[in-house]
Every structure is written in C-alpha cells, then in structure tokens.
Structure 1
C-alpha cells in the first residue's frame, strides 16, 4: 500500500484538491455533494497522472531515482499502469455525479495526463502549455461547481500564463539534465535566448490581462492591491533573466512568489 501511495504522490494530489477548493470558494459554490466530490476527483485524477508518469519514466528512474516504486521492484510496471488507469476511471466516474462540465474536464485531463507522459513531455512549448493548462484547470474544475464561475475562469487564465512563464524558466534551469535524457524542450530545440524571449512575451500578456477581472466587474478593488504587484514581479523576473542579471533558477523561484501573490489576490476579492 505504501508503494502505491508513493506512486500517487499524495502531496501533489492534496495541492490539486486545494486548487479546486479555491476555485469553488471564488466561484461561490454551495456546500453540497458536488462541492465535496470535486476536490476528491481532482486528487484521484492527479494520482493517476503521477502513476502513469512513473510508468513511462521507469527506465530513467532506474538510473536517477532507483528508490521509486517501479525501479525498486515494489510495484510492477503493469500494476502501476493498471493503478493509473483505475484512478482515471474512478475520477471520471465520480465526476458524472457532479455535472457535465466537471465530467468533461476530468475526462479531458485524464487523457492529457496520459498523452503528456507517453509522448509530449519534453516537446518544445507543447509540454509547457499542457502542464500549465493542467495546473490552471484545478481552478476551472472548482469554477464548474460554483454559482458565479467568472472570477475563477479569470484565475484559470492568469494562472495558465504565469505557470507557462515558470515552466519555460524551469526548462532553462534544467537544460543540461534534459539534454542528457534526450528531451527536446524549448531552450534545447531553439536556444536559450529564444526561450527567454518567449517567456517574457507570456509575462507581458499576463501583465496586460491582470487588471481585466477588475475592469470586467467580477472582482473588487482588494484584488488589484495584490494582483498588480504579482504581475509586476513575474514580468520583472522575466526581464532580468533576459538581461542576464538573474539566472533561470532564481527567476523561476521569484515567479513562484508572484503566482502565490496572484492566488492571494483572488482570495482577497472575497473580502
């Protein structure tokens, strides 16, 4: 049982569930069966995604992480794959109880998690886009349960852009290791300069879009107090990375701080 828990990565699953709860709060969800089930669905689907990732990474983990459940022999590759598919099936099945939108998101995410681990990890930009969508979709999933989903949909969009910036910076930080694994990430395929400029374009888009939830009337002024500095921090990190003043590792850690500020901004809008 412990090996399967390691395969599922419960901390990651808890973070996915928390993202859904935040989406529900922002979207004004009522405390009903759907609101209770939605975080559980997210955690179960996330567990499947983590397990299928370990299944396809078994050979790499045998060298880099021999203590992981599959290379250590505690879980067979076949059992890990069946566990992942079982998690996807249970998650999608539970989503049918909530509503059609939640069912659609759970089914789509299950397919994308499988495809990402199987074929799309390490592909230039596509992998980054997929991970960023999956991160933001936790808020979208919560929004699908709520009575006023507009604020959480904005949170999904802004979280997608912010995470996209961070994912590209992480690829820049991991160039040496990714190249050794044969991955074709954006900086490996097109050069570090191109990757930095692409990250900055997304950071600019984030900064431009950040005031729109307030201007659209879906959040109040407390949102702006934290959201504008958050966007500025993320843009500054990207610009300083392009200028060479910061390395990619420092820049992506600062972007992470900006993302937390952005999340707090939406929560502040509830006040």
Structure 2
C-alpha cells in the first residue's frame, strides 16, 4: 500500500543533502539526474520498503485492515513478491544512474526495510530500534545520497558538517516518531 505522503520527507532529505553539497541550485531542478533522484527517493525506494512492510504485515492486516491489497485478495503473494523484486531492482538501477554509490545506499535501505518488517528481527516491535532505523533510512541515507549526487569532492571530512545537521534532524524526527507512537 504505497503512501505518497510518506515520500515527502525522503525527497526533502535528498534535496537538503544536494543543497548541502554546495553544487545544487535552481538550474539543477531541470536536469534528469534530479528527477531520477526524486523518482528514486519517492515511489521507487520508499515505495519498495512500504511494499515489503505490507508483505510482512499481511497476517496482522487480515485482522486490522482486511481491505488492504494483500489480505483483501487484490494481489496474490506471488504477485506481491514479483512486484517487490521488480521495484527493488528498478530502485537499484535508478540509484546507479544517479550515482553508482547511491545504488549501494538503496541496497542498504532495502535491507533496513527487511530488518524493520521481517521476522525474526522485526525492529518495528522494538520501539527505539524501529524508530531509529526508519529515521536513518528516511533521513540520513537520502541526505547523504543528495550530497553524493552533487558533490565532486565527496569524503567524510567534506560532508561532516552536513552529516551533523542530518544527524540532529534524524534525532529530532526519531523523538517525534516515539512521541507519536
């Protein structure tokens, strides 16, 4: 069940990282790289992670939300698995097109989605760990991806000030998620 409203902070984090690179401005908004990154951070990577969560929550959704696509029978488990695999592959390819290192970040995000949603680990059941992994995946990973996409001198030293801001942003967001739960 894709939720476009949840894509906004991920796209926003990418844009913050791109701006922090010092090489992103209004003129880059018209470039294909920018729009591929928006597609990646919104419906592709975030959508993949949402589909994974729906897949692993299908038993709970049969009780609480029986009209969702999987428990409601609108999509079979086989079709859901194929869609998740296709969306994952497409996310990695688009990440590679934006910058090869971003493809690795996409893989890390998909692994995080498994850690969050899948048994036996299922971090969503562990209040702090679940919220932290979501905040890191939704905020720090796309922020650093934005820097990678536009910064020519990418190094830990070069991005440290930006990483501090992104970390503070993530801590604040984690606090909001915990209070919201």
| Fold match by TM threshold 0.5 | yes
For 1:161 and 1:95, how far apart are their aligned partners in 2? 26
Question: Is structure 2 residue 97 aligned with structure 1 residue 87?
Answer: no
User: What is the aligned counterpart of 1:165 among 150, 153, 175?
Assistant: 175
Displacement of 1:79: 1.6
- Quote how far apart the aligned CAs of 1:124 are: 4.7
Larger radius of gyration: 1
Q: Where do residues 88-103 of structure 1 align in structure 2 (5 Å cutoff)?
A: 88-103=88-103
CA distance in 2, matches of 1:78, 1:14: 29
CA shift, 1:109, in A, is 0.6
TM-score, normalised to structure 1's length? Answer: 0.55
Give TM-score scaled by structure 2 length.
0.79
CA distance in 2, matches of 1:82, 1:152: 37
Distance 2:23 2:77 in 1: 39
Number of paired residues? 165
Contact 2:92 2:106 in 1 (8 A): yes
User: Aligned with 2:149: secondary structure?
Assistant: coil
Matched, 1:135 2:129: no
- Which ranges of structure 2 fall in alignment gaps of 5 or more residues? 152-157
Within 5 Å, give how 1:50-129 maps onto structure 2.
50-118=50-118, 119-129=122-132
SS of 2:134 mapped into structure 1: helix
CA distance in 2, matches of 1:101, 1:72: 38
Contact 1:34 1:98 in 2 (8 A): yes
Q: 1:157, 1:94 → 2: CA distance?
A: 26
